[in-house]
Structure 1
Amino acid sequence: MWLDPVRSYDLIGDVHGCAQTLEHLLSILGYSKRAGVWQHPTRQALFLGDLIDRGPYIRETLHIVHSMVEAGHAHCIMGNHEYYALAWNTPLTENGEQRFVREHSARHARLQRETLEQFAEHPYDWQDFNQWFLNLPLFIDAQRFRAVHACWDERLINTLRSRFPDGRVDTDFVRQSAISGSLADQTFNRLLRGVNLPLPYGMSQISQDGYQRSSFRTKFWHEDSAALTYGDVVFQPDALPEHIAQKPLPSQYLRHINNYDAQQPLLFVGHYWRQGQPSLIRPNLACLDYSAVNGGKLVAYRLGQEEQLLPSNFVWVDAQEKGS
């Protein structure tokens, strides 16, 4: 996707249905609501995905962001939760039996419960938004900076570009993601969910969102792959047990970790549920997801023409509403 190289942008992390908090942040950033659309006289917003699920005002959030994008005041990329919605609603026919790209299991239904409930009386609205989700790019490469929901994987992105130059996929690609190990499956998993590695010994953990997980979220940008432990690569709020954290990472896992080094363009991601005061990972790498829907912060980075990210350019508000 082409973006104006001289324009300034406000990149905003995972909203997850926290519409009141979003409006508060936009106001602080200097946006005002005119003709029903939040806008800034000189800047544009860029949302890093995960607008839906978990929060109390999902429909309102989508109307805010969609209106901004349609009016040219914002851009938005796809998060894993928008992909989950698409996959939940995209049918597959096998052996004459209809199912969906994302299995309609109790676990998946629980993850999307708030969204489905809040749109129960607005089915046509929900259809329209699902069509819009399909138009969201999986990444933005503006040359001097990049944005992706969870992980910048150069190999997969270059492969995707050969088929979808602007990063926007189609329904067939969503359907292909139902095939484990396919390019579509790898692309959605890697770009939108990041690098997830299995916990050893077949163990599992109950995460902060109440789900039992047998894997953990990891860094994808580690530069030194020598003698890494599980604790060296974990990147999530839930700490690993100390006896696991100190355990050497199996060598076959190292190939999953990218080398997004300091010479690469500025990169913004969401997804990882950071905590505390917003801070840089590196001078060219920032995560803007600070768990707003769990009572954390909704975070923006005010990007100007800087060549290295500045800690002073973070802007955030404490969440005004929490997900149920």
Structure 2
Amino acid sequence: MSVRRFEGYDLIGDIHGCGLSLRMLLARLGYSKKNGIYFHPRRQVIFLGDIVDRGPHIREALHIVRDMVDAGHAQIVMGNHEYNLLCYCTPSRTPQKQPYLREHTQRHRRILQETLQQLDPYPEDKRSFLEWIKEMPLFLELDDFRVIHACWHHGLIEQFKSQLGGNRINDDFLHRSAIPDTFEWVLMDRLLRGTHLRLPNDEVMVSRDGFKRRFFRTKFWAVEPEQFIDVVFQPDPLPEHIARTQLSEGNRQDLVHYGESEKPLFIGHYWCEGEPHPVSSNIACLDYSAVKYGKLVAYRYDFEAQLSSDKFVWVDVRAEIKKPD
């Protein structure tokens, strides 16, 4: 049996540029600065990705997190917003078809605008952060638990490990991931964005952040679901007539199931609200809409097999992002 290096881990959800709240949360968790870098003598942080976009202190948050990771005081997995930024800034190998791996559309620019505005004045920082993002693991599997940004998909993860021999992408994989319906595209979509189902009858929903959406995010731990309402997992409620739609066989094939006998799993991504609590006995989502006047949330994990509501720690980020009168 391997010897545990740390007494426990502190898993921190989506920061989205709330750098001041991150400092507050680290202090609340008992971390202090040593040589300018946050550390704990007996514990380690694991960040669940989505450090960038939307918030007021993105560059500061990136420096805090990367310094901790480089010093061995933290680990991190890639979030979909880091992946989006990397693709947006990476020239494609077929510029005549598409100049960058992610198209520079108005929608994509809107999502990334705060990150680009805060990093563009510091080109060396921007370059080094993009290199660091490319090296981020997609997932972590330790002896007692697992970490991923959105969804643990056993089949895709095993295929990825057999092809790349670990948990990180390379340049070829990154470029192929920009091609729809390739294995690389599907893997990045599932692991970093989760499972989702298409709205029936070509219907469209407008989400709280103003985007038109034809899909809704789904649980990957639901037991014997029957209707759409049994699997939806997002802040925006489904209209009643959609919520009561029966799952088809095709819908069921698009869903993934993470069983209760599996290792504890920590995820972010899903914009939860209210009092933090596990979403199942062995899954905790740590994204509580920090940048939308929510909470920046951590889970203090001490190797328990069943996750507990009393292990969540958080700070209210309203004060950081409230605009002056």
Q: TM-score range by the shorter chain?
A: over 0.9
* Residue of structure 1 in register with 2:219 after alignment: 219
- Once residues 322 and 189 of structure 1 are traced to their aligned partners in structure 2, the CA distance between those partners, rounded to angstroms, is 29
Letter in 1 for 2:83: Y
* CA deviation profile, 1:135-177 (whole Å, cap 9, x unmatched): 1100000031000000000000001111233311112111001
TM-score by length of 2: 0.95
**Counterpart mapping for 1:1-324 below 5 A:** 4=4, 7-94=7-94, 96=96, 99-225=99-225, 228-319=226-317, 320-322=319-321
CA distance, structure 1, for counterparts of residue 15 and residue 281 of structure 2: 24
Distance 1:291 1:99 in 2: 33
The answer (yes or no) to whether the contact 1:11–1:48 under 8 Å persists in 2 is yes
Whole-angstrom CA distance in 2 between matches of 1:131 and 1:293: 25
- Give structure 1 stretches of 5+ with no counterpart: none
Amino acid in the other structure paired with 2:295: K
Q: Distance in 1 between matches of 2:151 and 2:129?
A: 24
Aligned-pair CA distance for 1:124: 1.3
| CA drift at 1:230 | 1.2
1:111-140 Cα deviation digits (max 9, x unpaired): 000000011211111010000001110000
CA contact (8 A) 1:86 1:174 kept: no
Q: Which amino acid aligns with 2:109?
A: A
Q: Distance in 1 between matches of 2:26 and 2:3?
A: 20
Alpha-carbon distance, 1:323 to partner: 8.2
**1:237 Cα deviation (Å)?**
0.3
Task: Tell me which amino acid in the other structure corresponds to 2:20.
Answer: Q
Whole-angstrom distance in 2 between the partners of 1:170 and 1:140: 17
Paired residue secondary structure (1:92): coil
Looking at structure 2, the residues matched to 92 and 212 of structure 1 have their Cα atoms a distance apart, in angstroms, of 27
Instruction: Report the Cα offset of residue 236 of structure 1.
Output: 0.2
Do the aligned residues in 1 keep the contact of 2:228 with 2:245 (CA within 8 Å)?
yes
| Closer, same or farther: CA 132–4 of 1 in aligned 2, 3 Å | farther
- Provide the rounded CA distance (Å) in 1 between the counterparts of 2:322 and 2:71: 28
Greater mean alpha carbon deviation, residues 301-310 or residues 18-27: 301-310
Q: Which secondary structure state, in structure 2, belongs to the residue aligned with residue 67 of structure 1?
A: helix
The 8 Å contact of residues 90 and 174 in structure 1, kept in 2 or not, is answered as: no
1:321 partner amino acid = E
Instruction: Report how many aligned residue pairs link the two structures.
Output: 321
Alignment partners' CA distance in 1, 2:19 and 2:223: 37
Query: For 2:260 and 2:172, how far apart are their aligned partners in 1?
Result: 36
**Structure 2 vs 1, CA of residues 315 and 239 (structure 1 numbering), >3 Å: closer, same or farther?**
same
**Structure 2 Cα separation of the partners of residues 188 and 97 of structure 1:** 22
Once superposed, what is the RMSD of the aligned Cα atoms?
1.6
TM-superposed CA distance for 1:98, in Å, is: 5.4
**CA contact 2:277–2:308 (8 Å) conserved in 1:** no
CA drift of 1:6 comes to: 5.2
Residues 3/191 of structure 1: CA separation in 2 closer, same or farther (3 Å cut): farther
- SS for the counterpart of 1:306 is coil
Amino acid at match of 2:47: F
Amino acid at match of 2:173: F
**Normalised by the size of structure 1, how large is the TM-score?**
0.95
Inter-partner Cα distance in structure 2 for 1:323 and 1:294: 10
CA contact (8 A) 1:56 1:323 kept: no
Deviations 1:8-40 (A, max 9, x none): 100000000000011000000000122110111
> Which stretches of structure 1, 4 residues or longer, exceed 4 Å deviation after superposition?
2-6, 95-98
Query: Are the aligned partners of 1:221 and 1:257 in contact in 2 as well (CA < 8 Å)?
Result: no
